[in-house]
Chains A and B, each alone.
Chain A
Amino acid sequence: MITLTHFLVVSACIFCIGLYAVLAKRNTIMILVGIELMINAAILNFVAFGKYDKVNYGGQVFALFAIVLAAAAVAVGLAIILNVYRHFKTINPENIHELKD
């Protein structure tokens, strides 16, 4: 029998892998991938709890909202990354340390 705790532990693992990617990677695209992993862990929590909410379907509805938000975030983030690459000729966040032109 698959209980709620199984889902929570799996999503905790995925979340921490995403956290590690955000902290350790030296490539902006991989940092974005780490953020996507963390959002996916949150969506897994949403649907796991949403199983017990048949009246409102809140978990599944807000999981869909979270997917839309993640898609919007990745579109804007990649546009910013492409602009930064065009400007600085690098996407390593350590080399991007000035705001002025």
Chain B
Amino acid sequence: MMIESLLFYAFASMAIVSALLLVNIRNTARALFLLFIVLFAMAGLYLFALADFIAITQILVYVGGVLILLIFAFMLSNKELLNDLQSTSKRFISLPNWQALALAVAFLGVMVYSYISWSQHMPQWITQSEAKGTVILPTDNNIKVLGFKFMTQYVLPFEIISVFLMMALMGAAHLSRKENNE
């Protein structure tokens, strides 16, 4: 139990510290490589919630796919990035930094306060499932159960999400093609 909490705190602090560094660093390429560390640490945290398949999918999809896409897009639009770092005029969407910081810290305060006051009285379904013992255990075979659930109970959302993913990827490929006739 001791080593479990120690590892949890190590992963959590790794995620939070590298995320803080990510938003403060000036160099976008370094920030994207810090995102690697954040995503790996988040995958480690999923393991502590006994979601091993989600952790592996996180590494496959995020680190293998999304991050490579982000780095590609960064390299394709690199030329103007260095100039953007200097220009501070004409703020339209972005707030000045201290306002954004104040907003984020206030949001964090509200959320942490509400979580801590909420954790005194858990919702009924959590206490019921703890009493009945229907909590996922470390010895359970999650992947097999997830496969059955996807093909029986959640088959309609699964099909909808696969059609949606195909539509989104076709739309992305259509959007990013080069137009020859102009």
Contacts and interface: CB of A to CB of B under 8 A. Distances in A.
Contacts of B149: 56-57, 61
Nearest to B101: A20
A65 B125 contact: no
Contact of A44 (B28, B45, B93): B45
Interface residues on B, range: 35 or more
B15 A10 contact: yes
Contacts of A99: none
Contacts, number: 256
B16 A13 contact: yes
Interface of B: 1, 4-5, 8, 12, 15-16, 19-20, 22-23, 28, 31-32, 35, 38-39, 42, 45-46, 48-51, 53-54, 57-58, 61-62, 65-66, 69-70, 72-74, 76-77, 79-81, 84, 87, 90-97, 99-101, 103-105, 107-108, 111-112, 115-116, 119, 122, 125-126, 129-130, 134-136, 140, 142, 145-146, 149-150, 153-154, 157, 161, 164-165, 168-169, 171-173, 175-176
